A and B are shown apart, each in its own frame.
Chain A
Amino acid sequence: MIVELGHYALVLALALSIAGAALPLCGALVGDRRLMAIASPVSIALFAFVAASFAALTHAYLVSDFSVRNVVENSHSMKPLIFKISGVWGNHEGSMLLWVLILALFGALVAAFGNNLPMRLKALVLAVQSMIGTAFLLFILTTSNPFLRLVPAPVEGNDLNPVLQDIGLAIHPPLLYLGYVGCSISFAFAIAALIDGRIDAAWARWVRPWTLTAWIFLTLGIAMGSYWAYYELGWGGWWFWDPVENASFMPWLAATALLHSAVVMEKRDALKVWTILLAILTFSLSLLGTFLVRSGVLTSVHAFATDPTRGIFILIILCLFIGGSFSLFALRAGTLAQGGLFAPISREGSLVLNNLLLTAACATVLVGTLYPLALEALTGEKISVGAPFFDMTFGPLMVPLLIAVPFGPFLAWKRGDLLAACQRLFAAFAAVLLTIGVGLVFAGPSKALTFFGIALAVWLLVGSLSEFAFRIKLFRAPLGESFRRARGLPRAAFGMTLAHGGLGLTVLGIIASTTWNTETITTMKPGESVTIGSRIVTLDGFLPVSGGTYSGTAARFTVREGGTTVATLAPEKRLYQVQNMPTTESAIHSFGLSQLYISLGDVKADGTTVVRIYFKVMILLIWLGAIVMALGGALSLSDRRLRVGAPKPARAGAAVAAE
C-alpha cells in the first residue's frame, strides 16, 4: 500500500511539475500576476510529493519489502540498517529519485527564501526548474520506475554490490547530488535572465549564493568520493581520471569559474554574457555527467545497469536542455547590455585569466572523457585515455592558474598595479625561494619538479595569507588595530583566504603524497615483519570475521616504533555470500597527516599472504584542503551581503569592502 502511495505521489509530482513549468512561464510572458504567483506554492508542493515518494521507497527498503523489484535486486534482509537506507540510492532507479528529490528541494528553497526576487524573475526561475523536473520525472516513470512490483515475491533479496556497502555510500551521493543538481539553480537564473532580456548586478547577487551552495557540496562530494575510492578499492590511489570522476570534476571546474565571474558581474557589472554562458555550461556539464554515469555508455561501478532505452532518453533530455539553452543564448545574448570597462592588469583581468584557464582545463578534461567514446562510435577503434593524458594537458594549464591565484586579490578593480602586488607578495616570494633552496640542498636537482610543486603550494598558502595580513595591516599597525580590522572584514574576505589556502593545502598533499609515497609488496607469514621507514610492521596472525551478509578473514598487524607499539591494523578479505563476491578491506592508520595503508591479498592455507603496504606522506592534506575550501565557501555564504533574502549591503559594510 505504501509503495502504491509512493508511486502515486510520483505521478502527481509529474503533473505538478508540468503545471509548474507551463503556467508561470505563460504568466511571465503575458504579464499575468496570478499565473506567476502559483510558481512558489507549486514548487513547494512538488518537493512535498517527491519527498513522500522517496520516503515510501525508503520504507520499502527498511521493512525489506521483497515484492518490490528494486528492493529485491538491491537489498537483503540481513543487511545492516545504515546500508538499507543508503541502499535506496545505491541503484539506478533510487539514485535518479534522489536526483529529482534534490532538484525539487532547490526549487522549494528558492520558492521559500527568494522573497526579495522580482516576481517575474522568480516565476521564470521556478518554471525552468519545473521543466527540468518534468523531464526527469518522465524519465523515472517511463524507464526507471523504482516502484514496480514483482510477482511472486522472493523470500530474500539479491543484496547490494559489496563495494557499495560502506558508509561512503551514505554520504558521497547525497553530497555530490546536492552539488550537481544545485547547479540547476544558476542555470534556471540564466535562462530566466535570457527570457527576460534583462540582467544586472542584482542578478549576480541573487545567483552567487546558490552557485556557492552548489559549489560547496560539489567540493565536499568529490573529496568524499575520492577518499572513499582510496580506502575502499585497496589500490591506495585517490584519483583515477576515471570518466565518472571526470563527470563530477568538470561541473566543479565550471562552477569555480562561474563563482569568480559572478564576482566581477556583481561588483563591476562586467562579463555579463560570459557569466550567463558559464551558468548554462556548468549545468550542461552536470547533465552530461548524469548521462555518462547513468546511461551505461561507460562501464564502471557507477553504471548500475545498462538499458539502451534509458541512455536514449537521457540523451534526449541532454539535447533538449543543452541545445535549447544554447539556442536561447545565441538568440538573446546580443540584447544584453555590456558594461564595466577594465584594463588587462586589474582584478577583473585576473578573474578573466582565472576563467580562461579553468574553462580551458575543463575542456581538456571533456576531450579526454569524450574522445574514446567518439572515436569508438566513429571508427570502432578502442582506446583508453588515462592519467598520462591528463597529466600532460590538465597539469600544465593548472600551473599558471595556481601561480596567478595570489596576485588576483592584490590587484585593484578597473586598473591594478602589478608591481605593488609583487611587493606585497614579498613574503610569499621569500617562502618560495626558501623552499626551492632547501630542496636543492637536501634533495638535489634531481627532485627539481617536486620542489617546484611544493614551492607552488607554499606560494598559494603564503600568498593567500599575505593578502589577509595586508588587509588587517598585520605588523604594520598595533596588534589591537589589526584585530579590530580583522573583525571588521566581511566574512567573504575570510572565505576567500580560506578557500585559496585550502587549494594550497590540497596541492601540497598531492605533491607530497605522490613524491614520498612508499609502496612495499611482499609475501608474509604470521610472525614476520617488514620495516617501513622507522616503523616495523609485524603480521601477528589471522582471525575469522563475519557480519551482515559476509564472512572473511582479518589479518592483525602490529606497528612498532622504537620498541613500543604505536598502532594495530586489521585489513580484511571478505566474501559476500549472496553475490558471491570477494572484496578487500584495507586498513589505514594516520600518523599526523600521513597514513599507513595495508591491504591483503589471498590468504593461502599455510598462512602466507601477499601484503601491500603503503606509507603515504601528508596524504590527508588532499582532503583536508578540500574541506578548508568548502569551509571558506560556507563562511563566504554566511556573509550578510550574500545571505539569501538579505537586504542590500549596509553602507558601513560596503566601505570596508571597497578598501
Chain B
Amino acid sequence: MTRKQRRLTLIGLAGIVLASAVGLILFALSDGIAFFATPSEIAANPPAPDRRLRLGGLVETGSVVKDGPKISFAVTDGKAAVPVRYTGMLPDLFREGQGVVAEGKVDAAGNFQADTILAKHDETYMPKEVVEALKKSGEWRPEAEATGPEPKSVTR
C-alpha cells in the first residue's frame, strides 16, 4: 500500500465511524427523547399515544389514591389536571401539593401512564421545569415552598 492509500483507508474508516455516530444520534434524537409538557398543554393538545413525555406540576391535593403498589394521582398546574397512574414506590419527597415530574406516555383513555416519578431532592428544591410550568400558569407562589430550615428562595 502506498502512503496515500493508507491515509485514505484511515480517513475512510474515520468517516464511516463518524457517519454512523451522527446517524445514530439523529435517529435517537427523533425517537429516544422525552418532551416536557404541562397539564394545560396536554389538556389543550392531547399528544400521540406513543409519545414519551415528562409531565410536570403539583400533585393535586386529595387526589392520591394508593392501592398497594398501584398509585393514582393527578398533576395540576392550577388550570388543568392530568390523571397519572403509576405502579411502584414513590420517591421519599412525594407529597400532595408538592412539585413532581412524571415520565411516561398518555394512554388511549387519557391517563398518564408513568414509569418514572421524580420529586424534589430536598425540601427547598423544586424541579426547574415545574417552577416554570407554574409561573406560566400563574400559580407560582415561592413563599409556599420555603419550608426548609433556612429559607432559600427557588430562583434561577
Contacts and interface: CB of A to CB of B under 8 A. Distances in A.
Instruction: Determine if chain A interacts with chain B.
Output: yes
Contact of A393 (B24, B127, B150): B24
B121 A300 contact: yes
B20 A385 contact: no
A383 B93 contact: no
B65 interface: no
A612 B121 CA distance: 21
A301 B1 CA distance: 55
Contact of B24 (A234, A364, A521, A601): A364
B128 A299 contact: yes
Interface residues of A, number: 54
B6 A579 contact: no
B12 to A, nearest CB: 9
Given A523-B68, A579-B149, A384 B88 contact: no
A581 B122 contact: yes
Given A363-B21, A382-B35, A397-B21, 8 more contacts: A300-B121, A341-B3, A344-B13, A353-B17, A383-B35, A385-B33, A393-B21, A610-B69
A521 B25 contact: no
Nearest to B116: A386
Contacts of A521: 69, 87-89
Interface string B35-54: 11000000000000000101
Contacts of A610: 68-69, 89
Interface in A476-516: none
A581 B88 contact: no
A327 interface: no
What class of interface size applies to chain B in its complex with A? Answer: 35 or more
A612 B93 contact: no
A389 B29 contact: yes
Interface in A339-388: 341-344, 352-353, 356-357, 360-361, 363-364, 367-368, 371-372, 381-386, 388
B9 interface: yes
A389 B13 contact: no
A381 B149 CA distance: 34
Interface in B118-147: 121-123, 125, 127-129, 132, 147
A159 B149 CA distance: 9
Contacts of A601: 69, 89-90
Interface string B56-90: 00000000000011000000000000000001111
Contacts, number: 135
Given A343-B6, A610-B68, A583 B92 contact: yes
B53 to A, nearest CB: 9
A325 to B, nearest CB: 22
Given A158-B150, A522-B68, A610-B69, A360 B21 contact: yes
Given A341-B3, A396-B20, A388 B68 contact: no
Given A342-B6, A356-B14, A393 B25 contact: yes
Per DSSP, chain A at the interface is: mixed
Which of A299, A300, A363 has the most CB atoms of chain B within a 10 A radius of its CB? A299
A360 B17 contact: yes
Contact of B25 (A341, A343, A364): A364
Contacts of A342: 6
B35 A353 contact: no
Interface of A: 73, 158-159, 161, 163, 234, 299-301, 306, 341-344, 352-353, 356-357, 360-361, 363-364, 367-368, 371-372, 381-386, 388-393, 396-397, 521-523, 578-584, 599, 601, 610, 612
B28 interface: yes
Contacts of A301: 121
A344 B20 contact: no
24 contacts: A299-B121, A342-B6, A356-B18, A360-B18, A361-B21, A381-B36, A383-B35, A384-B35, A388-B32, A390-B28, A390-B32, A392-B24, A392-B31, A393-B24, A393-B32, A396-B20, A397-B20, A580-B148, A580-B149, A581-B93, A582-B92, A583-B92, A584-B92, A610-B89
A392 B23 CA distance: 10
Nearest to B95: A582
A391 B122 contact: no
A367 B22 CA distance: 10
B35 A381 contact: yes
Contacts of A584: 92
A360 B13 CA distance: 12
Contacts of A578: 149
B122 A392 contact: no
B89 A599 contact: yes
A158 B149 contact: yes
A230 to B, nearest CB: 15
A62 B52 CA distance: 48
Which of B1, B3, B24, B148 has the most CB atoms of chain A within a 10 A radius of its CB? B24
A392 B27 contact: yes
Contacts of B93: 581-582
B137 to A, nearest CB: 15
B6 A341 contact: yes
B1 A343 contact: yes
B30 to A, nearest CB: 10
B33 A384 contact: yes
B89 A73 contact: no
The 7 A-B residue pairs with the shortest CB-CB distance in the complex, in nearest-first order = A382-B36, A389-B32, A388-B32, A392-B28, A360-B21, A523-B68, A521-B69
A351 B7 CA distance: 15
Which of B18, B32, B88 has the most CB atoms of chain A within a 10 A radius of its CB? B32
Given A388-B32, A578-B149, A580-B147, A367 B25 contact: yes
Nearest to A302: B121
B10 A352 contact: yes
A580 B17 contact: no
Nearest to A396: B24
A377 to B, nearest CB: 13
Contact of B31 (A159, A371, A383, A388): A388
Nearest to A163: B121
A488 B125 CA distance: 59
Contacts of B3: 341
A342 B155 CA distance: 57
Contact of B10 (A344, A386, A523, A581): A344
A372 B125 CA distance: 20
B66 to A, nearest CB: 8
Contacts of A161: 121-122
Contacts of B52: 388
Contacts of B68: 522-523, 610
Contacts of A353: 13, 17
A384 B125 CA distance: 19
Nearest to A395: B24
Contacts of B150: 73, 158
Contacts of A579: 122-123, 148-149
Contacts of A396: 20, 24
A558 B131 CA distance: 44
A584 B103 CA distance: 21
B29 A371 contact: yes
Contact of A306 (B6, B132, B156): B156
A251 B27 CA distance: 25
A537 B30 CA distance: 44
